[in-house]
Structure 1
Amino acid sequence: MSARARMAAALALVAGLAAASLFVGVSDVSLSGILQGQDRDWLVLVESRIPRMLALVLSGASMAIAGLLMQIVIRNRFVEPSNAGTMEAAGLGLLVMTLVAPAAPVIAKMAVGAAFALAGTALFLAILRRVPLRDPMLVPLIGLLLSGVLYAGTSFLAYRFDVLQGLLAWTQGDLSGVLRGRYELLWLGAAVAGLAWFAADRFTVAGLGHDVASSLGLSHRRVVALGLAIVALVTAVVVVSVGRIPFLGLIVPNIVSLALGDNMRRAVPWVAVSGAGLVLACDILGRTIRAPYEIPVGTVMGLIGSAIFLVLILRGGRRAA
């Protein structure tokens, strides 16, 4: 099968999952009711189901691309925004804005969240420079420790000022409250993530290291800074819109790289499609496994992603041996 045929099949699968998600949920929405023009079915479809489906596709594709970019820039296959302190730092920024300026517009909260996410990622990189990394597995472990510290501090502040419920909404990845007018910021995140594809060749060269990039006439520091800025902005947009979706940016790029190698320009479309399809599948599973109750997509993704993460670590350890 040719590459175009495989991509067409993948897009058809994602389209099928997207169509299925429109008819899964507590409120009954039928195709016959929509075709007959029933007001209730159209109201639920337009106000809730379509915005939720688009939010799943946009957040899944954006976070998967952000994970791929982060792995290339940091030069480690086991890092992504949820285990490098980036998501937790973004959540801390949103909490600070909630406490300091609760009436601020969403775009202002997103900007502060992006600034905190960038600062958290910079702190992660500063720690890596000071720690002798004899094993690549130490990188995600350090990131998980940093994420735990940031989350603990954020939880303490939220408990102290009685906004713990709002913090849980950011950390669970719950899309049950996504309605029309409350997800459109994700289009900005998808557009920013799309910059990674346009500059894919530069990021690929930067991933070869400072010396190689400099010998080819590339400003390694500027490209890395641009990559981390894209990751921070995408993470902030997703966290403020739908919450935390863990391990997505880790497992999807790794699975794609097993099939396509490390060519970022070839990998980005596949990573985007695979990320969107995986999030759609997890959301459908979360809405059906305990219907009419709903398991947040972040919880389902965390369970599946942690298992695949463990497999990837064990596989990497066997390769090193």
Structure 2
Amino acid sequence: MQALRPVAEATGSISGLGRPGRSARGAICLCLFVLMLLAGLSCVIGVNQTSPLALLQDPEAAQLLLISRIPRTLAVILTGATMAVAGVIMQLLVRNRFVEPGTTGTNEAAMLGLLVATLLAPALPIFAKMLCAAVAALLGTLVFLALARRIPPQQPLLVPLVGLVYGGILAAAAGFIAFQADLLQYLAIWMSGEFSGVLSGRYELLWLAGLLAGLAYLVADQFTIAGLGEMASRGLGLRYGQVLGFGVVVVSLVSALVIVTVGVLPFVGLVVPNLVSRIMGDNLRDSLPVVAATGAGLLLICDMLGRLLRAPYEIPAGTVFGLFGAALFLVMLLRRPAHG
């Protein structure tokens, strides 16, 4: 981490880098307050009652809260926050607002690595399979970055198009392998991000993703400067290659952890950074906590809607967020940004 520290004189004068401003601290407190309210509401929504009165009268309600509701709520918060952070890091490194792990082949590469690990060594523990998925995601992301470097900067829309084609090729390869090995049902589960199977003892890997998001915040200033481009970053004294490598590792590990635990969740890393950037700008020291809290809050809302719309059945949170995220992203494309 020492090598990633910026030159203080170079970074301190750019867009107020350093400690979050007063307005940013107010936005962070507001987001955390709303997130706490949503988390409390998520713990009481479901088929079985877990209201305070039910907790006092029924011991099984308290057990349900500790084993299922609280772990599920924490898993949703960690997933939404870390995927939003991974999305904003990817956008700054590629310098394109239309990319996220789902449009760069990162998710598909992670699924391919997880599928190969399942076929070759089905007895591997879940942590080892996660490492295989992370290595595959890392390699897939590096290939995409190499492809993105060959795209003219005057054609920003080509970057996500190339990423979609590249991801489609990886997804087709994974589908072919899964069809040959009769594992299509497992692939379908990984493609559908949902939290109904989250219980105590089956989501704790997501805390590692939360730790990675916290490490990303420690070097938020470096990511902000890296978003200016390689030449400008090196001119300001930033070790661009190390920051790029650290960002790719964070994105790859977060994507692998989320896919192994809950599956693919589209649009979280695409919509949330763009939404926050319209209001707060691109200084990650100010905006990254808001990005994380907004991603967690929106995913919590979608998860609760999935539990309520067809109760007592559930709609996967990834499906609900996919519909909501696509509509919101179209609105943002058609409207002019509020932040100059």
User: Normalising by the residue count of structure 1, what TM-score does the alignment of the two structures yield?
Assistant: 0.94
Structure 1 stretches lacking a partner, 5+ long? none
Correspondence for 1:33 among 42, 54, 59: 54
Distance (whole Å) between structure 1 residues aligned to residue 303 and residue 129 of structure 2? 26
Distance (whole Å) between structure 1 residues aligned to residue 165 and residue 330 of structure 2? 17
- CA offset at residue 301 of structure 1? 0.9
Correspondence for 1:93 among 113, 123, 134: 113
Q: Which residue of 2 aligns with 1:174?
A: 194
Deviates more, 1:41-50 or 1:210-219: 210-219
Q: Which residue of 2 aligns with 1:228?
A: 248
Correspondence for 2:35 among 14, 18, 37: 14
Distance (whole Å) between structure 1 residues aligned to residue 322 and residue 286 of structure 2? 27
- State the one-letter code of the partner of 1:20: L
User: Normalising by the residue count of structure 2, what TM-score does the alignment of the two structures yield?
Assistant: 0.89
Q: Which residue of 2 aligns with 1:255?
A: 275
Distance (whole Å) between structure 2 residues aligned to residue 154 and residue 193 of structure 1? 28
Question: Between the two proteins, what is the percent identity of the paired residues?
Answer: 53
Q: Which residue of 2 aligns with 1:275?
A: 295
Q: Which residue of 1 aligns with 2:98?
A: 78
- For residue 32 of structure 1, give the secondary structure of its aligned residue in structure 2: helix
Confirm whether residue 306 of structure 1 aligns to residue 326 of structure 2: yes
Structure 2 stretches lacking a partner, 5+ long? 1-21
* Residue pair 2:94, 2:148 contacting (<8 A) in 1 also: no
Correspondence for 2:204 among 149, 159, 184: 184
Confirm whether residue 154 of structure 1 aligns to residue 166 of structure 2: no
* Residue pair 1:48, 1:180 contacting (<8 A) in 2 also: yes
- Post-superposition CA distance 1:233-259 (Å, at most 9, x none): 111111111111111011111111111
Q: Which residue of 2 aligns with 1:212?
A: 232
Q: Which residue of 1 aligns with 2:218?
A: 198
- CA offset at residue 310 of structure 1? 2.7
Distance (whole Å) between structure 2 residues aligned to residue 150 and residue 90 of structure 1? 10
Distance (whole Å) between structure 2 residues aligned to residue 63 and residue 232 of structure 1? 11
Deviates more, 1:226-235 or 1:212-221: 212-221
* Residue pair 1:137, 1:313 contacting (<8 A) in 2 also: no
- For residue 241 of structure 2, give the secondary structure of its aligned residue in structure 1: helix
- Distance change in 2, residues 1:5/1:201 (3 Å): closer
* Residue pair 2:80, 2:268 contacting (<8 A) in 1 also: yes
* Residue pair 1:133, 1:139 contacting (<8 A) in 2 also: no
- Distance change in 2, residues 1:303/1:290 (3 Å): same
- CA offset at residue 313 of structure 1? 3.7
- Post-superposition CA distance 1:171-229 (Å, at most 9, x none): 10011100000000000011011111100111111111111111122221121111011
